[in-house]
Chains A and B, each alone.
Chain A
Amino acid sequence: MSRVRADEEEYWHSSKFRAFTFDDEDDELSQLKESKRAVNSLRDIVDDDDDDLERVSWSGEPVGSISWSIKETASGSTSSLDGRDSSLQKGSSSYAALPKQASSYSLSSLFKGDGRESGFLCTTHLCLSLSALTDTGVKNFAPELRRPKAEYKDYSSDWSPKDTVRRMQRGKVCSLERFRSLQDKLVLLDEAVAGHDGNVITAVLIFLKRTLRREILFRELEVRQVALCHLIHFLRETGEQKFLLDLLRFLDRTEEVALSQYREHLNIQDVEKRREFLKGCIGLPFSAEDTSHIQDHYTLLERQIIIEANDRHLEMAGQSELFRKYPRKASILNMPLVTTLFYSCFYHYTEAEGMFSSPTNLKKTFKIPDKQYVLTALAARAKLRAWGDVDALLTTKNWLGYTKKKAPIGFHRVVEILQRNNAPVQVLQEYVRLVEDVETRLNLATKYKCHDVVIETYRDLKDRVQLTAYKCKVERGSAEEEKINGILSNTVRN
């Protein structure tokens, strides 16, 4: 490792590369530089037969080396795939990749006078793919592009599938068009898969996809799982939804079909259309659990559209005091369920259950658990400082008509929420008192200055010491102090 270390140290100490304006790139670049140097000192590994393609000179060298590297390049020939891919097919031979010999296009001028980042990238591997573009390609895509005069030369390309794959792995471009029979194509695919290079596998797949009938392609892929995965990934990336769904259906991967299709809704901006789309998703073969979620998703959006239309109208009209006092910050469309519930508890709390926008209706429709409901409603009502509602929310009547305070979320949480909404001490106190755990109760009461609760708790605990100590925390001459004194003298008498 010593070599690496020394190298590294030298690099870390001398980071001249701070000079660039864009920081993000400069760390990357300096790293690149470092490893480039490592690569530089490296020879004949994998690519021993293609030495000049892998060897690189990097920025450590004087600029002069660029021209050197360009000379090197000139002897290396390259080609491009595009010709082959051109949509205007003329006959396969003319689409064979066209290699070219030394291009007359002056690279040194490119690098010397006006290169921007180019200086950094002076790999010897500067293949000029420009010249390899077919005429049509250039005209279609960049008509004003300057084109060098390049000499085109035919060459015999009778590589075996194996060689072809190997060449492609090395970043060279090969013509796949010569593989005409199904047999050849499949051998090629198998070779690509054996090479594990996704780039090559995908390239071969693109070729097969273009030249084979779907049924045949699907059938062959079914027994070639690795290739299949690559094609699915490719289709997903490029958004060829229809083809993807056909493939998944063919493979009988119903759940994946369903999820894939469902994913599509994210690309639909218009809510009405999105709703329609989701409706269509309900019947898809999801797992049982997921089906109910998708159904809920649809129902929720449907509700949101109704509520949104209604409320926007209300807000515009300016009739409702609630909307005037607390204008809506954003539309409710596409918000999660709990957010919607909060919204409805905020603006539509008192509505009858029959209304779509009423909280109770939401609770029923989506089977929202009690805990979640209370929590959300509490937060919404506390925000409006509607302490009466808070009280009602936490009060339950038993069948004899007695009332009792109950909080499925625990009263300490109630207190937290109220406190966050700046509830007055009188309100807070009532719920602090209901916290079951004595220690938590004391902590909360002390923290929020609910003196009465502290005093009563100490009294119940018969803790004279603490109570006496607490006396200095209440205001002198206040009712609380009197209360403490009363209790203290009371206990003396006992």
Chain B
Amino acid sequence: QEHEVEKMFTLKPGRLPPADVKNIIFFVRPKLELMDIITDNVLREDRGRSPQRDFHILFVPRRSLLCEQWLKEQGVLGSFIHREQYSLDLIPFDGDLLSMESESAFKECYLESDQTSLYHAAKGLMTLQALYGTIPQIFGKGDCARHVANMMIRMKREFPGSQNSIFPVFDTLLLLDRNVDLLTPLATQLTYEGLIDEIYGIQNTYVKLPPEKFAPKKQGEGGGKDLPTEPKKLQLNSAEELYAEIRDKNFNAVGSVLSKKAKIISAAFEERHHAKTVGEIKQFVSQLPHMQAARSSLANHTSIAELIKDITTSEDFFDNLTVEQEFMSGIDTDKVNNYIEDCIAQKHPLIKILRLVCLQSVCNSGLKQKVLDHYKREILQTYGYEHILTLNNLEKAGLLKPQTGGRNNYPTIRKTLRLWMDDVNEQNPNDISYVYSGYAPLSVRLAQLLARPGWRSIEEVLKMLPGPHFEERQQLPTGLQKKRQQGENRVTLVFFLGGVTYAEIAALRFLSQMEDGGTEYIIATTKLINGTTWIKSLMEKLEPAPF
């Protein structure tokens, strides 16, 4: 509006909403589905109206020749006066989190061998380096990581002028392929933020919640009965003091924090009775806005926690978690699981089934052919044969596969990397395994071991995981080389290629905060994911486009 923008519309097929404006700009990702919608919009535009409206299109992050060709074939390309790009690679989500928000990155890299998203990742990293200095050390694990590192080195070579004179903020860059750790996203996240995402789905830091628990309680009048029907929408980030404190805690530790906070706040409100002098009252009043904010934040999170608790205490959640934990600790991964069978029989959501079956497959380095065939048959018979396409995609991505060579590497990996911890302290954690109540995310373990004692100690295991591991150095001009102060933390940028979960982020934040950790982590990724959104991105779209 500052710029005289009259209205903003979300993209949807059909006729464009009426607005008395001259120019319409489509601000889109270069995706063919979206192009179809735009085509529809443009074609339905009333030609006779005056004044004529002009169309413009802006691609984020890149102009796509494919999309333009598509628009052209639909006969609407000529209607666009401007076709531009807005090269936006990494979007800041929080003080320590950047995301490219490209949900199809994993699918593109591993299913379609399309490395465009890696190119964007490399470009994003170049931008970061231009802002925060050349990163002297690059570590990586996985094919995609190797590619990104190669591209960065190449880009640097091709533009020698890009050598900048900024003192480097990051000491190390760690590039991790998602397919090095397929296990972690499949498990149910058990941190507060992770659970909110698992249950309600966090989109661009916003979450939509069922409104019932948020009904205004104080209005006692007659109108109080009709509950709001619109979902409650909340923004979640660390600017909210309370949320910053609890987001990364295990959910079991959230309740006590909330009740403690509640006591503090009510005590603070009580203080008004003690305020006697005008000065004291004035001081109290000046604190009011802050207290009010704290109170409403507390109320919101108490409601969310209640909602989540309803689910985490349900029998099915418990059963599901039990099976997950059995698989991750290596129990009975080689036979058909009863609970999974039951879930299929009761027609639980397909994605849930796929998550469990994939988890079992990953924890067993592939399923026995017989077991795999059994699951496949049951799934196809219950959910429809067309899902054969989805199963095929999962196989291609390595999530679901027959065991080859009859060797199961997972137990060795689990033991060496200490992925399963029996004694977890959820309230006052001493290890990253608290984020999954027992399972320590493999990806984060790799980051942790890299910082100390170094990857040389785990060479054997690294060889078992897919893709190469490597180290590169980027020369810095002598003036910029760091002279490290005693006790100063190293800063590592961890880039997850193919997505990262909130629980993994929590684990890295936990490592940053460890007193003797010595390393601070900043996280970047192609997309924030959870098991559900991740599997969904790999599923074949079965519904034909609605127009």
Residues B1 and A45 in contact, CB atoms below 8 Å apart: no
> At the interface, yes or no: B259 with Cβ under 8 Å from chain A?
no
* Bound Cα distance A120, B92 (Å): 18
CA distance A36 to B347 in the complex (A): 46
For residue A5, which residues in chain B have a CB less than 8 angstroms away from its CB?
95
Check: A437 CB closer than 8 A to any chain B CB. no
A4 to B83, CA, bound (A): 31
**Interface bits B127-156 vs A (CB < 8 Å: 1, else 0):** 101111000000000000001000100010
Other-chain residue from B3, B21, B72, B522 in contact with A63 (beta carbon distance below 8 A)? B3
Docked complex Cα distance between A243 and B1 (Å): 48
Once the chains bind, are A26 and B72 in contact (CB under 8 Å)? no
Cα–Cα, bound, A265→B378 (Å): 22
| Measured CA separation A66–B491 after assembly (Å) | 38
Contact A126 B84 (CB under 8 A): yes
* Assembly CA distance A141 to B237 (angstroms): 46
Q: Tell whether B86 is near chain A: CB-to-CB under 8 Å.
A: yes
A18 nearest in chain B by CB position: B235
Check if B92 sits within 8 Å of A372, measured CB to CB: no
At the interface, yes or no: A357 with Cβ under 8 Å from chain B?
no
A318 at the interface (CB under 8 A from B): no
Q: Which residues of B contact A9 (CB under 8 A)?
A: 95, 239
Q: Do residues B21 and A114 form an inter-chain contact, with CB atoms below 8 A?
A: yes
> Counting CB contacts under 8 A, is B412 at the interface?
no
Q: How far is the CA of A48 from the CA of B160 in the complex (A)?
A: 10
Contact of A336 among B94, B132, B161, B382 (CB under 8 A): B382
Q: Are B380 and A127 in contact (CB under 8 A)?
A: no
Name A46's contact: one of B27, B114, B155 (CB within 8 Å): B155
- B58 within 8 Å of A (CB atoms): yes
Which of B266-274, B383-391, B423-431, B499-507 contacts its partner?
B383-391
Segment with Cβ contacts to A, from B4-12, B277-285, B527-535: B4-12
In the complex, what residue of chain B is closest to A148 when comparing beta carbons? B81
Residues from chain B with Cβ under 8 Å of A137 in the complex: 77-78
Residues of B within 8 A of A35 (CB): 88, 90-92
- Which of B70, B85, B238 has the most chain A CB atoms inside 10 A of its CB? B85
A198-B4 contact given A121-B58, A289-B376, CB 8 Å threshold: no
| Chain B residues within 8 Å of A123, by CB | 84, 86
Enumerate A322-336 residues with CB–CB distance to B below 8 Å. Answer: 334-336
Q: Is A129 an interface residue (CB 8 A)?
A: yes
Asked whether, in the complex, the Cβ of B126 is within 8 Å of the Cβ of A19, the reply is no
- Pairwise interchain contact A199-B92, C-beta atoms closer than 8 A: no
Contacts A119-B2, A121-B25 given; does A43 touch B95 at CB 8 Å: no
Residue of B nearest to A265 (CB): B386
Q: CA–CA, A289 to B372, complex, Å?
A: 11
B159–A46 touching, CB < 8 Å? yes
A32 touching B91, Cβ below 8 Å:
yes
Q: Tell me whether B78 and A133 are in contact (CB under 8 A).
A: yes
Chain A residues lying within 8 Å of B108, measured Cβ to Cβ, are: 198, 233
For residue A263, which residue of chain B has the nearest CB? B389
Instruction: Choose one: B75, B237, B385; the contact of A294 (CB below 8 Å).
Output: B385
Asked if B85 and A129 sit within 8 Å, CB to CB, the answer is no
Q: Is B381 an interface residue (CB 8 A)?
A: yes
CB distance from A62 to the nearest CB of B (A): 9
Among the listed A196, A259, A338, which residue makes an inter-chain contact with B147, where contact means beta carbons less than 8 Å apart? A196
Interface status of A104 (Cβ within 8 A of chain B): no
- Per DSSP, chain A at the interface is helix
Q: Which of B24, B112, B122 contacts A229 (CB 8 A)?
A: B112
Cβ of A293 and Cβ of B385 under 8 Å apart? yes
From DSSP, what is the main secondary structure of chain B's interface residues? mixed
Which residues of chain A have C-beta atoms less than 8 A from B94's C-beta? 8
**Residue A81 CB within 8 A of the other chain:** yes
Q: With a 10 A CB-CB cut-off, give which of B93, B96, B206, B392 has the most chain A CB atoms.
A: B392
A27 touches B206 (CB 8 A): yes
Which residues of chain B (90-127) have a CB below 8 Å from chain A? Answer: 90-96, 108, 112-116, 118-119, 122-123, 126-127
Which of B59-67, B188-196, B352-360, B453-461 binds A?
A: B59-67
For A112, what are the chain B residues with a Cβ–Cβ distance below 8 Å? 4
In-complex Cβ contact of B544 among A120, A198, A266 (8 A): A266
**Contact among B9, B54, B380 for A293, CB-based, below 8 A:** B380
Task: Check if A252 is an interface residue, CB within 8 A of chain B.
Answer: no
Compute how far the CA of A237 lies from the CA of B69 in the bound complex, rounded to whole angstroms: 12
Most chain A CB atoms below 10 A, which of B69, B385, B542? B385
B23–A116 contact, CB under 8 A? yes
> Nearest Cβ distance between residue B208 and chain A, in whole angstroms?
9
Q: Is B52's CB within 8 Å of the partner chain A?
A: yes
Contact residue among A24, A34, A127, A259 (Cβ-Cβ distance under 8 Å from B389):
A259
* Known contacts A230-B114, A372-B345; A199 and B64 CB within 8 A of each other: yes
Closest Cβ of chain A to B199, distance in Å, is 20
- Find residues 2-41 in chain A having any chain B CB closer than 8 Å to their own CB: 3-5, 8-9, 12-13, 15, 19-29, 31-32, 34-36, 38-39, 41
Establish whether residues A206 and B65, one from each chain, have CB atoms under 8 Å apart when the complex forms: yes
Q: Which residues of A contact B9 (CB under 8 A)?
A: 22, 25
Minimum distance in angstroms from A268 CB to a CB of chain B: 9
> With the chains together, A133 CA to B87 CA distance in Å?
24
Closest A-chain residue to B392, C-beta based? A259
Pick from B3, B4, B79, B115: contact of A226, CB under 8 Å: B115
- Expressed in whole angstroms, the minimum distance between the Cβ of A34 and any Cβ of chain B is 6
Q: At the interface, yes or no: A140 with Cβ under 8 Å from chain B?
A: yes
**Total of A-B residue pairs, C-beta within 8 Å:** 306
Cβ of B204 under 8 Å from chain A: yes
Residues of B within 8 Å of A25, CB to CB, are 8-10, 27
Q: Closest CB-CB distance, B10 to chain A, in whole Å?
A: 5
Nearest B residue to A334 via CB reads B384
> Are A21 and B8 in touch, CB under 8 angstroms?
yes
Q: Taking the complex as formed, is A85 at the interface, i.e. its CB lies under 8 A from any CB of chain B?
A: yes
B47 pairs with A144, CB closer than 8 A? yes
B40 within 8 A of A: no
- B56: CB under 8 A from chain A? yes
With A137-B77, A140-B78 known to touch, is A127 a contact of B92 (CB < 8 Å)? no
B117 and chain A: residue at smallest CB distance: A198
Q: Does A117 contact B (CB under 8 A)?
A: yes
A438 adjacent to chain B (CB < 8 Å): no
Give complex CA distance A488, B98 in Å: 71
Q: Within the complex, which residue of B3, B86, B87, B118 is in contact with A59, where a contact is CB–CB below 8 Å?
A: B3
Q: Mark B23-42, 1 if CB is under 8 A from A, else 0.
A: 11101001010000000000
Docked-complex contact A39 and B84, CB < 8 angstroms: no
* A21→B5 CA distance, assembly (Å): 12
Query: Could you say which residues of chain A place their CB within 8 Å of the CB of B227?
Result: none
B22 contacts chain A at the CB level, 8 A cutoff: yes
Chain A: CB-nearest residue to B115: A196
Q: Which residues of A contact B522 (CB under 8 A)?
A: 1
Let me know if B162 is at the binding interface, CB within 8 A: yes
Q: Mark B293-317, 1 if CB is under 8 A from A, else 0.
A: 0000000000000000000000000
Q: Is B180 an interface residue (CB 8 A)?
A: no
16 contacts between A and B (CB under 8 A): A12-B238, A20-B8, A25-B10, A46-B126, A111-B3, A113-B22, A114-B4, A116-B7, A116-B24, A119-B5, A123-B86, A125-B85, A128-B81, A144-B47, A230-B114, A366-B381
Extra contacts besides A82-B77, A121-B25, A202-B66 (4): CB < 8 Å: A1-B95, A21-B7, A140-B78, A233-B108
Binding site for A on B (CB under 8 A): 1-10, 19, 21-25, 27, 30, 32, 47, 52, 54, 56, 58, 60, 62-66, 68-70, 72, 75-88, 90-96, 108, 112-116, 118-119, 122-123, 126-127, 129-132, 147, 151, 155, 158-159, 161-162, 164, 169, 203-206, 233, 235, 237-239, 341-342, 345, 347, 373, 376-378, 380-386, 388-389, 392, 491, 520, 522, 540, 542, 544
Residues of chain A having any CB pair with chain B under 8 Å: 1, 3-5, 8-9, 12-13, 15, 19-29, 31-32, 34-36, 38-39, 41-46, 48, 54, 59, 63, 66, 80-82, 85, 110-123, 125-130, 133, 137-138, 140-142, 144-146, 166, 171, 195-200, 202-203, 206, 225-226, 229-230, 232-234, 237-238, 259, 262-263, 265-267, 269, 289-290, 293-294, 296-297, 300, 334-338, 366, 368, 371-372, 375, 409, 413
